[in-house]
Chains A and B, each alone.
Chain A
Amino acid sequence: MNKSFLEKDPFILVQKEKEKLFLLEIKEQAQWHYDNCSEFCKMCKNRNFDPFSEFKITDLPYIPVSMFKAFDLISVPENEVVKTLYSSSTSGRPSKIMLDKTTADNQILVLNKIMADFLGKQRRPFIIFDSEETIKSSEGELSSRGTAIRGMMSLASKMLFVLDKDLKLDVNKLKSALCSNACFFGFTWLIYNIFLENNKEIARLCQSFDNNLILHIGGWKKLKDLAVSKQEFNHKIGQMFHCSRIIDFYGMTEQLGTVYPDCEYGFKHAPLYSEIIIRDVNTLEPVKTGEPGFIQLLSPLPRSYPGISILSDDIGKVVGIDDCKCGRKGKYFVFEKRPELAEVKGCGDTLNI
């Protein structure tokens, strides 16, 4: 991985220029994983893909996100793994992601660059709506919540946890943490739970503070179970925290570092270090701008595991390229939904055989 690539600003290159640089980096990583991860190599061969020949970004085989749940995919010797991450797993077994130092460092580097572009370079105090226990790793293993919170550390002037072990609000901790220019951070569903239980009290406490913002991540499926739309969430949470800037960011444990916060116009932007392709649900071919499909995310960052091209089962669409009013270049997109399987309910329901 070329360090100068990672040091460039995330959103200044127009798409055409970005693609040239990106292809060089992703090609190098594809060759690395082909040589060092037998599973990735098998998949490439089955799809007649040779990373040592010329290819376009859209030709690079994608790995469905579920593969990180089914297999321990690794591209470095096990003794180089410094951290193992687990996804939140809303359904069944979680994804298992093994990081070496290079990958972890690169992920932190780009996370900082992306978030600084949205939050500004000046660090803010982070008021974390989670328990401090969440970021304690056990034998080098960390949950997705813990990973996300730790990722924020370098952006914060200080971090103040305001939930107890049972994920209930500690009002005294919140009282002493509150200040102006702070960032409220937490998982979407957890923040909403706190809203349901402590809405009035938090609203009263937050009234005298200004210029705060809310950063929240993940867990829309849990909110869907509570039948809460994004608009409703923003309205309620904004009122409670007495702030209007609410940033939802999209990201995957399988590609940490490259995160996709909402810009002020409500769109998510692919930075220099990652690329998005939307694939038609039926043909699996890339679709045109504006058409919905599966979100495929590519990034040359993962070195210790073959997560350079991941097909999620989320549905989204690219809204435009290089022309978002926020000024960021490259593709910008929206996340639409995570589809749920309609079970076969007929006589063809084969049960467990």
Chain B
Amino acid sequence: MRKLIFDQEKDLDLDLTIKELRSRLDYMHDLEIDDLIDFFDKLASRFEVKNIKDFFSKTNLKQRLKIALHGNYYALDKWVDLQDPELLFHAQPRGLTVHWLAGNVPVLGLFSIFFALITKNVCLVKASLIGSEELAGYLNKIKDVETEKIKGRDLAKSIKAILINNDDKEMHQALSLAADVRIAWGGREAIKAITGLEKNIFSQDIIFGPKYSYALVDNWSEKTARKLAVDVSVFDQYACSSPHTVFVKEDALGFAKELAKQLQTVNRIMIPKGKIDPAKAAEIVSLRAEYEIKAQVFSSSSTDWTVVYSQGPGLAKGCFSRVIFVKPIKDILEIKEYNDRQKQSLGISLENKNQLDSITRFGIDRCPDLGRMTFYESPWDGMFVFDRLVRWVTTYK
């Protein structure tokens, strides 16, 4: 399978596709950042996904760009003064960004594509077969947006999305060699395969690899449990920022029971769970039975959600599909030993944050409040992605 699925649908001619994309670099370079911000603000308003809507809103995007680009995002348009006594700075686009997307949460891939466009790069997107139609649907929204300065139909020509088989080594190698930036979302095997490809020695790698997230609660209320229930329910825990375990300092068993109530409410009112595949359902049923014997289980009568209260040590293996382990903890510093570079988000509900420095020393890239765990933020996975997508150029004042 070698197919182009966006911005046209036809058989893939990779050389031609790359050539067409590179020919768009001048167009992208000449766009002004304020116009791009306006465009993405309008585009985001057409998304129902809160994550996209919020992040690319004009106010938020300006703030994120400013912080990521050292205080002045106009560096994307011109030479700017960043308070260096001698130097002026300009952020040039890196060029052709190649994105290998994962199928778990198609919307997450949009972040890297939009980031690349905002920093005036062009995008060659290797879509995942799972979710490829959803992705094409999202990208097609770009064509329908028009602002005073940017026509979506024109901007869309700077993105090409393709489908190729995962074992098509020749094509993957060609993509890798063509990339000025390689952006990879995926599980361990996918990331290993992509980073193992030969690449241009000057290209930049941005890896959104397999990550584990969990939560930490000291004192809690019904609201705390409600917020965590939302984090568990959004994306059915298939995002890397979704929690699989929560450590609770005070009355963990009571919290488990409250969390069960809140998961039921969230499922009924806010985020109804869709159908799941039989193998996942069988896994959930087995897990429940196992912990009915070893611990305590609170669950829906269906496979919708499951809370396991377990006093066993450590982080629980992610089952996904709204299965969360609640574990008691005496001292919140105990979790420090679980943190390495594989741990991404630690959702918190803490009276004070004094110990977070110590907790995050060897791992954990973000400590969002509960209810915001799956919100996309900048930085992500410990990186200011906007910054990684540009090439800084200096000259003397």
Contacts and interface: CB of A to CB of B under 8 A. Distances in A.
Q: Do A and B bind each other?
A: yes
B317 A353 contact: yes
A240 B102 CA distance: 47
A71 interface: yes
A348 B282 contact: no
A346 interface: yes
Contacts of B239: 346-348
B315 interface: yes
Interface string A310-353: 01010100000000000000000000000111111111111111
Contacts of A349: 104, 186-188, 210
Interface stretch (A146-154, A199-207, A278-286): A278-286
Which one of B130, B238, B240, B278 has the greatest number of beta carbons of chain A within 10 Å?
Answer: B278
Contact of B318 (A285, A313, A348): A348
Interface in A42-99: 42-43, 46-47, 63-64, 66-67, 70-71
Contacts of B282: 64, 66, 294, 313, 339
Contact of B187 (A340, A343, A353): A343
B297 interface: yes
B40 interface: no
A266 to B, nearest CB: 23
A315 B301 CA distance: 19
B211 interface: yes
B212 A351 contact: yes
A313 B102 CA distance: 27
B286 A345 contact: no
Task: Give the size category of A's interface with B.
Answer: 35 or more
A347 B297 CA distance: 28
Given A345-B190, A348-B105, A64 B317 contact: no
Contact of A294 (B130, B281, B289): B281
B318 A282 contact: no
B209 A347 contact: yes
Contacts of B51: none
B165 to A, nearest CB: 14
B290 A347 contact: no
Contact of B210 (A285, A294, A315, A351): A351
Contact of A340 (B189, B244, B279, B320): B279
A275 B292 CA distance: 25
B128 interface: yes
B278 A348 contact: no
A19 interface: no
A346 B186 contact: yes
Contact of B297 (A46, A339, A350): A46
Interface string B275-301: 111111111011001101100110001
A285 B303 CA distance: 10
A213 to B, nearest CB: 33
B303 A282 contact: yes
A47 B240 CA distance: 32
Interface of B: 102-105, 108, 128, 130, 185-190, 208-212, 235, 237-240, 242, 244, 275-283, 285-286, 289-290, 292-293, 296-297, 301-304, 314-315, 317-318, 320, 338, 342
**CB-based closest 9 A-B pairs:** A346-B104, A349-B187, A346-B102, A313-B282, A341-B279, A339-B278, A347-B240, A350-B318, A339-B279
